[in-house]
Amino acid sequence: MALDPTRIKMDEEEMEAYIKLGEYHSHVLNSFARNIKGNVKVAELVEGSERSIKEGGYELAFPTNLSINEVAAHYTAYPGDETSIPESGVVKLDMGAHLNGMIVDAARSIALNEKYEELVHVAKDALDSAIKRMLPGNKIREVSEAIYNTIVSAGYKPIQNLTGHKIEIYVLHAGTEIPNVPVRGGYRLKEGDIFAIEPFVTFPEAKGYVVPVGDPLIFSFRKKIRTRDEIERKVIRLIEKKYNRLPFCERWLFKELGHRLNNTLLRLIERRALIGYPPLVEASRKMVAQYEDTVLVTSDGPIRLTGGTP
């Protein structure tokens, strides 16, 4: 069963499946968020969370992101990664799951030091304020204003070039965005829309935007190409078969093929067969907090499919 994205309303069976998926995803997300402590290996957390999603009978919508301190997004463990959680800082745990292409996406931030707790609370408050505006007929701008006003009134700064996003079947980023700062014009919400809303917050003295740093750790399929390289052909076949156009990581391919493939993946990016997503770092290297939930727009009000906090 999969939701038809051209329809405005879900039937009861589809709604029940989405809610059940969101509840299970939230259970796993919050459970692993509580386990984020200093000196725990990043690889242990991301692989454990991914395994738990699959144990529930669901598939991964993207590799679990575990982004630390000034890294806002797109960090996941690579084969042999020995990175550990620091004793102090802010950790963002961002997870996605799907059932036949029906995707939920949510994130939590964990302050490992009291001085960052307010930063994390502001991100959550901005998310809560935004969700209240997710009503049919409202413009995206109204949602962005709720995010922006909540963050700025608390004395913090939003990350201006990271956004929430519409979700459709097997499409994690379906084109329409929810910026963390208001922009002119914009899409009007409709009943049946599904959006991931994700405020990113930093300190007022920060530059307030992210830049890519380092090689990509997350990838997605763009198009099939001709190649004489047997390893490239094998990688493309595996990606087409297993991941559709949803994001994946080298760590997953390593488990299938048994050897490192980073250089192969970088070549495939150069040849435009793949899209690469490097870690995104706040430009002035200031701490970043994130909160995210997936929301279904209904005539009775927004349904927070991934609701609940650790």
Collect all residues with Cβ–Cβ distance below 8 Å to 153 and sequence separation of at least 6: none
User: Which tens digit of pLDDT belongs to each residue from 154-169?
Assistant: 999 999 999 999 999 9
Fold of 218-277: Arc Repressor Mutant, subunit A (1.10.10)
Q: Please, what sign has the CA dihedral across residues 289, 218, 213, 165?
A: negative
CATH class label, 12-214+279-304: alpha beta
User: Which tens digit of pLDDT belongs to each residue from 70-112?
Assistant: 999 999 999 999 999 999 999 999 999 999 999 999 999 999 9
What value does the mean pLDDT take over residues 56-83? 97
C-alpha span between 301 and 104 (Å, rounded):
18
Tokens encoding 309:
């906090």
Domains 12-214+279-304 and 218-277 share a fold: no
C-alpha span between 184 and 67 (Å, rounded):
31
> Are the C-beta atoms of 163 and 88 separated by less than 8 Å?
no
Tell me the catalytic residues: 94, 105, 165, 173, 198, 292
> What is the reported pLDDT for 134?
97
> What is the reported pLDDT for 138?
96
User: Which tens digit of pLDDT belongs to each residue from 107-131?
Assistant: 999 999 999 999 999 999 999 999 9
Query: Would you mind telling me the total number of residues written for the chain in this entry?
Result: 310
Q: How far is CA 66 from CA 26, 40, 98, 188, in A?
A: 16, 12, 19, 32
User: Does residue 310 register a pLDDT over 90?
Assistant: no
> Are the C-beta atoms of 106 and 307 separated by less than 8 Å?
no
User: Does residue 3 register a pLDDT over 60?
Assistant: no
C-alpha span between 40 and 241 (Å, rounded):
33
C-alpha span between 36 and 13 (Å, rounded):
35
- Strands, E assignment, the chain: 59-68, 71-73, 90-99, 102-111, 157-158, 163-166, 177-179, 194-197, 200-202, 210-212, 218-221, 248-249, 274-277, 280-282, 288-290, 293-296, 303-304
> What is the reported pLDDT for 12?
81
Side by side, the strands of the sheet bearing 157-158 are 157-158, 200-202, 288-290
User: Which tens digit of pLDDT belongs to each residue from 184-240?
Assistant: 878 999 999 999 999 999 999 999 999 999 999 999 999 989 999 999 999 999 999
> What is the reported pLDDT for 15?
84
> What is the reported pLDDT for 308?
59
User: Does residue 6 register a pLDDT over 50?
Assistant: no
Sequence spans of domains, the chain: 12-214+279-304, 218-277
The pTM (predicted TM-score) of the whole model is 0.93
Q: How far is CA 199 from CA 72, 124, 131, 141, 282, in A?
A: 11, 8, 11, 14, 14
Q: What is the CA radius of gyration of the chain?
A: 19
Tokens encoding 197:
């809303």
